[in-house]
Amino acid sequence: MKILSIVGYLGMMGALLGLLATRSLFSASPFVISLQSVALLLFLWARITFGRRSFHLAADPTEGGLVTSGPYRFIRHPIYAALCLFVLAAVAGRFSLKTGLLGALVLSSALIRILCEEALVSVRYPEYASYKTKTWRMVPYVF
């Protein structure tokens, strides 16, 4: 699982860098800027709520208990949701076959990472099973 989670991380970051390199990550569109601003605020809220826990390249549940406050009350993976929203807004703002493929790579890589993390977190924190029944993975009422 940890190796697969690294593959997911590298896919997300590679596609993000690809969008940046092709000058497709940012747009002058007010709509895209608004969506990306919402994504950035969600990311910051989630990161602040998560606290001083460190980031791991490989999925690795941290010490300190399961975080279920802040945006984690509603969705289990708000940081990935924020990244995907940011990227999908960018893709919509400058759509082409290349940006569409890079956006799909971000989404599929995030999904790989989410599935790996959920498998590992459920082993470490038995209460995760109950938490899963009360929250959505990334998008409330959808997924």
Tell me the C-alpha distance between 129 and 94, whole Å.
39
pTM of structure: 0.89
The CA angle 69-73-79, to the nearest 5 degrees, is 85
Mean pLDDT of 130-141: 90
**Residue 55 contacts residue 115 (beta carbons within 8 Å):** no
* Domains of the chain by residue range: 2-53+63-134
Cα distance between residue 3 and residue 23, in whole Å: 30
CA Rg value for the chain: 15
Confidence bin at 50 (pLDDT 50/70/90): confident
Kindly tell me if the per-residue pLDDT of 78 is higher than 70: yes
Specify whether the CB–CB gap between 25 and 94 falls below 8 A: no
pLDDT at 55 over 70: no
Looking at per-residue confidence, does 67 or 45 come out higher? 45
